[in-house]
Chain A
Amino acid sequence: MLILHCPYCGVDADETELAPGGEAHLKRFGPGSSDAEFEAYLFQRENPKGVHFERWRHANGCGKWFHAARCTTTNEVFGTYSAQVTEPPRDIHDKITGKRPGWLSRWLS
């Protein structure tokens, strides 16, 4: 029973208020994409043991989607942030690397 902070309405929301939405920051592939690209977009998902970025909707609250950075093994939450970004913001990166030195981000290489 997680508690996640909704960045829109400011509520520390109980999991019963939230609906999970799977992996965050997927890039959509539409018409014109190759079969491989489309397959990866539709079906292939990260399943890390450790830091993960995921989508949540404050479904039984303000109704807004947001992103959360969470450790899948300990449920430590590094932060929640806007759904209207294509990659985790800098401050979230910093929080994770501050707590998990050596963590490698997909987006910062």
Chain B
Amino acid sequence: MSARLPKGGRFLNRSQPIEFSFNGKQLQGFEGDTLASALMANGQQLVGRSFKYHRPRGVVASGAEEPNALVNLGTGRRLEPNQRATTTELFEGLEATSQNHWPSLEFDVGAINARLSRFLPAGFYYKMFMWPRAFWKHVYEPFIRQSAGLGKAPNARDADTYEHFNITVDVLVIGGGIAGLEAARVAGSSGAQVLLIEQTAQWGGRANVDATLIDGADEEHWIEATVDALEDMDNVRLRTRVMGAGVYDHGYVLAYERLCDHDPQDGLPRHRLWKIRARQIVTATGAIERPLSFAGNDLPGVLLASAQRDYLINYGVSAGDRTVIVTNNDDAYRTALMLHNLGLEVKAVIDARAEANGPLPVAAREAGIRVETGKAIAKVKGVARVEGVAICAQVGEGAVLDEIACDVVAMSGGWSPVVHLWSHCGGKLVWDDAQAHFRPDPGKAPIGADGHAFVHTTGAASGLLKSDEILQNAHDAGADAAKAAGHKPKRGKAPTAASPDEAPIEPVWMMPQGAGHELRSKMWLDFQNDVKVSDVQLAAQEGFESVEHTKRYTTLGMATDQGKLSNINGLAILSKSLGADIPAVGTTTFRPPYTPISMGAIAGEARGKLFQPLRRTPMHDWHEANGAHWEPVGHWRRPYAFPRGSETVEQAVQREVKNTREAVGLLDASTLGKILVKGPDAGAFLDLLYTNMVSTLPLGRCRYGLMCSENGFLIDDGVIVRLSEDSWLCHTTTGGADRIHGHMEEWLQTEWWDMQVHTANLTEQYAQIAVVGPDARNVLEALGGDIDLDAETLPFMHWTEGRIGDFDARVFRISFSGELSYEVAVPASQGLAFWNALLKAGEVFGVMPYGTEALHIMRAEKGFIMIGDETDGTVIPQDLGLHWAISKKKADFLSKRAQERDHMTDPDRWQLVGLETVDGSVLPDGAYALAEGRNENGQRNTQGRVTSTYHSPTLGRGIAMGLVLHGPERMGEVLKFTNIGGAPIEARIVSPVFYDPEGKKQNV
């Protein structure tokens, strides 16, 4: 049983006990513990269940690579699932619960899956959930939903805040082990701006655990002195608890700082996302030990040999009393010696190699430790935890030679450099045969904007495993990075270190090498997702030759550790099954982030009101105060309607239409785009942009214009105003203002750059109010001023400027409703005052504000198209009966050539018509007109579709617009329209102009 040792634990403050709970049980740890070390100290070895088979799981690692010890952390607004116990620092009151079991961790019904495991092989989901088809909805999908996902999703709003932080540095060093410290020290000596980040709370990495003499003294002295020296340099920043998450093009790096995960509190951001621009990057991210593949290697009590050392030295925790060590290298003997020196029993070292005669094995033998070479573990004995191991010959098939009782198996399959950050942005890897791992290929580093490498790698991350080599290499890497960043480093002597010689590792991908299926189906590769040696072999057999395909088919490396622990083991098994070399099979793609980062950190401050900017018209607050029912339009909010008293929104809309048609209404039209186009060539330029003629528009006049893209489709419409000899004001749709301004600038800057034209988007400079209805003129005249508003002086489609009441105003006689209408623009700062003045002056005429829905209904009653309703990116003006707005005189304009293409001139294109239901009801939006027969997919053929549909209060019936095959030639014909969940609805083809077809009302 795992337990706390009476003394030891570098990170611990034993005078500071900490209370925490696991699955409701109150436990005690010390300041400096991780949740994993504290659980082990309390004898809690069972920490979770695996995903597929619900196998019991214990702690296997001591860092970010941990696949098993994932917990739900916290409660309520601070609940977060899938937190790794090995990287969760203990704090007072921490509450954790284990995941993926029911009803309890100890007794889990889902564990039945393990018994069925022979029926749940690789690709089970793909094979099983296919047939019969009818099972999908009621059997398979509910089953998959039930078992999907690890942990509990929080359902309360996050209590914490998060932030983003931008910084530019010359040299970024990622990793605070001895390599990172030395690289940062040398880079810092050049005066370069250096940032050194370390994902854990401590400096020094593994050096502290694997005692090394640096410059003749304990490593701790050197680490402390170096950190002190770095802190004294003004040009160097050091941060712990910051993980290098991803390296991107041109030296962009995301890093993830956990500010108060170890001390949850209000008032501080919980996480901070660092957005770093680094001229040069040094990755000193260390290496991760690999497990070995033997039967039963997933039982609680089996852990990495290096992790066992970490728990002993850093946390004063022993994983158990009697350890068997299994290895293919010399490094694992460090664990044996450490256990021995601490007075813990090492039952045996099982070494797969034929010989083990390096200094470390020799020391182990001298200490009286049993060393068995050429041997392997045939099987771990035990059901819920390790009870012993059966020993066999590595070269054999698993015939048991001996059994050893033990409660811990410490395994070491060699070290894999953490190459993730090197690889994110294109750094290539080489297979190192001698050390049996992939390491960065320094000749194929990620390339920066200048064509030179911008990432250097050093330390164990570069494949170096000996301290003296690491320090020398780190010294050089720090100097190289500073130099490449344009600084002059002081190259001195690298610190020296003494580390014992190690005999070569011998790659062992399966134990024993001739294991039969029975044993192979109990050798775990991916501990969390239950992928075993037999699964990868099956995948290879079934033809999954690409490592990327095998990954998806078996889920190897798709768990939350993303294959950090044992992907290489899986790749090796795959390559062996395929009879290919490991480098030929290659690795899966390394993608950011290195370890998961919180959604909160990604969002940063962009939540709630800051999630998206809200654009507000000058009258926004008035609308808000007067009960506006809002509609989002682009980044704006526009009033959809203004319900009064107990009115529903629908009733309000009907009232607003009626009142506008019969008396007078006010519309806040400020959101419409207003782009000023000015210059000697402005007219010629606009002639190229609009389909109709613009340059001939007389002074004082307005004209409706259409804009199409170069490939012919309608993109925007609006009223163009001739302001002066050389300037035009182009109105655009609300959503189109920025887009159309960009469109103008693009053509102006990149195609017609010799034209003397200037554009300015003035949308927010003006408040614009439409005064609409038979009394519109009366209301404006009641305000007084110096503008003659009568029909003779200011006819329809004319404009003028002057004063209305106390306001400087431009008045456009344009109408989108078919009524007498004046759109009045005043400076934005005067918008609200003008709105209030109009309401007051209009009171006697029964003035009411109206919203966007009333606007839509009134324009549909008049048959006016709406961009985004009648158009969808595939519609051309000719489809909408707008031939009159396409110039035949102009030699060229955007879309002219495109509209000559045969598809555009096809007489079978659907054309705009009005639609009137036979029974007066409202057609469903987007409904299709049915045609005879079915297409090759068995779907009903169609001959048209509804683009706009409303209940018209003016006509007291449903009206619609739609695009119909040969529509304008089929007036009076009745079509059937789809109606989901009901019988088709009949509607008659009519003119799209339902109201005042002669246009008398707007022209008075």
Seen from chain A, the residues whose Cβ lies within 8 Å of a Cβ on chain B are: 1-3, 14-15, 21, 28-33, 35, 38, 42, 55, 57, 59, 63-65, 71, 74-77, 83-84, 99
Contact = CB atoms under 8 A, between A and B. Distances in A.
B901 A35 contact: yes
A65 B749 contact: yes
B449 A31 contact: no
Interface stretch (B122-130, B511-519, B890-898): B890-898
A14 B167 CA distance: 13
Contact of B897 (A21, A38, A65, A71): A38
Contacts of A59: 742
A44 B505 CA distance: 55
A3 B277 CA distance: 10
A11 B343 CA distance: 65
Given A2-B449, A76-B449, A83 B897 contact: no
Contacts of A2: 249-250, 449
User: Of residues B250, B753, B891, B901, which shows the largest number of chain A Cβ atoms within 10 Å of its Cβ?
Assistant: B250
B751 interface: yes
A1 B898 contact: no
B722 to A, nearest CB: 26
Contact of A30 (B450, B897, B901): B897
B896 A83 contact: no
B750 interface: yes
B687 to A, nearest CB: 13
Q: Chain B interface: which size bin?
A: 20 to 34
Contact of A84 (B250, B277, B749, B901): B749
B836 interface: no
Nearest to A4: B449
B447 A30 contact: no
Given A65-B749, A76-B447, 12 more contacts: A1-B250, A3-B277, A21-B746, A30-B892, A42-B898, A55-B750, A65-B745, A65-B746, A74-B451, A75-B249, A83-B749, A83-B750
B449 A3 contact: yes
B750 A31 contact: no
Interface of B: 248-252, 277, 426, 447-451, 710-711, 742, 745-746, 749-751, 753, 891-892, 896-898, 900-901
A71 B749 CA distance: 24
A59 B743 CA distance: 12
Contact of B898 (A38, A75, A99): A38
A31 B897 contact: yes
22 contacts: A1-B248, A1-B250, A2-B249, A2-B449, A3-B251, A3-B277, A3-B449, A14-B252, A15-B249, A21-B746, A38-B897, A57-B742, A59-B742, A74-B451, A75-B249, A75-B250, A75-B448, A75-B449, A76-B450, A83-B753, A84-B753, A99-B451
A83 B753 CA distance: 9
B896 A31 contact: yes
User: Of residues B426, B451, B742, which shows the largest number of chain A Cβ atoms within 10 Å of its Cβ?
Assistant: B451
A28 to B, nearest CB: 6
Contacts of B753: 83-84
A76 B426 CA distance: 13
Nearest to A35: B901
Contact of B451 (A28, A57, A76, A84): A76
A15 B750 CA distance: 20
A33 to B, nearest CB: 6
Nearest to A65: B749
Contacts of A35: 901
Contacts of A30: 892, 896-897
A60 B30 CA distance: 51
A1 B892 contact: no
Nearest to B688: A30
Contacts of B900: 31
B891 A31 contact: yes
Nearest to A25: B750
Nearest to A75: B249
B758 to A, nearest CB: 12
Contacts of A76: 447-451
A97 to B, nearest CB: 13
Given A42-B711, A75-B249, A57 B746 contact: yes
A21 B746 CA distance: 9
Contacts of B898: 38, 42
A84 B748 CA distance: 10
Contact of A28 (B449, B745, B751): B751
Contacts of A1: 248-250, 252
Nearest to B902: A35
Contact of A65 (B249, B450, B710, B750): B750
Nearest to A39: B901
Nearest to B709: A42
A18 to B, nearest CB: 12
A108 B248 CA distance: 34
A11 to B, nearest CB: 13
Contacts of B746: 21, 57, 65
A100 to B, nearest CB: 9
A74 B749 contact: no
A3 B249 CA distance: 8
Contacts of A38: 897-898, 901
Nearest to B891: A31
Contacts of B901: 35, 38
Contacts of A83: 749-750, 753
Nearest to A83: B750
A3 to B, nearest CB: 5
Contacts of B277: 3, 14
A66 to B, nearest CB: 9
Contacts of A63: 745
A2 B454 CA distance: 13
A81 to B, nearest CB: 13
A42 to B, nearest CB: 5
A2 B277 CA distance: 11
The 7 tightest CB contacts between A and B, nearest first, are: A1-B252, A74-B447, A76-B451, A84-B753, A77-B449, A65-B749, A1-B248
Contact of B749 (A28, A64, A77, A99): A64
Contacts of B251: 3
Contact of A75 (B447, B751, B897): B447
A15 B751 CA distance: 24
A88 B797 CA distance: 47
A33 B750 CA distance: 20
B165 to A, nearest CB: 15
Contacts of B710: 42
A33 B448 CA distance: 42
A59 B751 CA distance: 18
Contacts of B742: 57, 59
Nearest to B746: A65
Contacts of B750: 21, 55, 65, 83-84
A3 B745 CA distance: 23
A11 B144 CA distance: 52
Contacts of A29: 897
Contacts of A57: 742, 746
A1 B892 CA distance: 39
Nearest to A5: B449
Contacts of A21: 746, 750
A21 to B, nearest CB: 7
A77 B277 CA distance: 17
Nearest to A28: B751
A76 to B, nearest CB: 4
A3 B251 CA distance: 9
Contacts of B749: 64-65, 83-84
Nearest to B425: A75
A31 B742 CA distance: 24
Contact of A3 (B250, B426, B891, B897): B250
A63 B711 CA distance: 24
A63 B450 CA distance: 25
A21 B751 CA distance: 13
A24 to B, nearest CB: 9
Contacts of B711: 42
User: Of residues B450, B745, B897, which shows the largest number of chain A Cβ atoms within 10 Å of its Cβ?
Assistant: B897
